[in-house]
């Protein structure tokens, strides 16, 4: 399914779908419900977060690098919060 098709099913913009997909935006409960419905999951929203059958995702390290729990630096600039992870702490980069 393309981002355009998903956006139309959820009545969201393609930019919103892209930002959620890339982790730039968080999805509200309403958006999660719309995504689950678009993927034919009905009210079972938890299936959106079940990666147990996604072998490629699991082999790539799954959520380990996304939620490493390592400290980060927060900066606020023009009402936007930037998170900076030093290269030495970034799980994908080896120093």
Q: Are 7 and 13 in contact (CB under 8 A)?
A: yes
Please write the tens of the pLDDT for every residue from 14-70: 999 998 888 788 888 889 889 989 988 888 777 777 777 778 877 777 666 555 555
What average pLDDT does range 75-81 have in this prediction? 62
Q: How far is 70 from 40, CA to CA, in rounded Å?
A: 35
Rg (CA), the chain: 16
pLDDT score, position 57: 74
Tokens of 30: 């309403």
Would you place residue 74 in the very low, low, confident or very high pLDDT band (cuts 50, 70, 90)?
low
pLDDT above 70 for 11? yes
DSSP, collapsed to helix, strand or coil, labels residue 49 as helix
Show me where the domains of the chain are located: 3-50, 63-95
Opening angle at CA 51, ends 46 and 57, nearest 5: 150
């Amino acid at each position: 399914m393309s981002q355009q098709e998903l956006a139309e099913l959820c009545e969201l913009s393609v930019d919103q779908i892209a930002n959620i997909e890339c982790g730039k935006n968080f999805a509200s409960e309403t958006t999660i419900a719309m995504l689950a419905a678009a993927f034919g999951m009905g009210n079972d929203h938890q299936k959106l977060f079940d990666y147990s059958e996604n072998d490629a995702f699991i082999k790539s390290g799954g959520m380990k690098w996304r939620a490493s729990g390592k400290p980060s630096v927060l900066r606020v600039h023009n009402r936007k919060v930037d998170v900076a992870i030093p290269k030495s702490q970034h799980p994908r980069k080896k120093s």
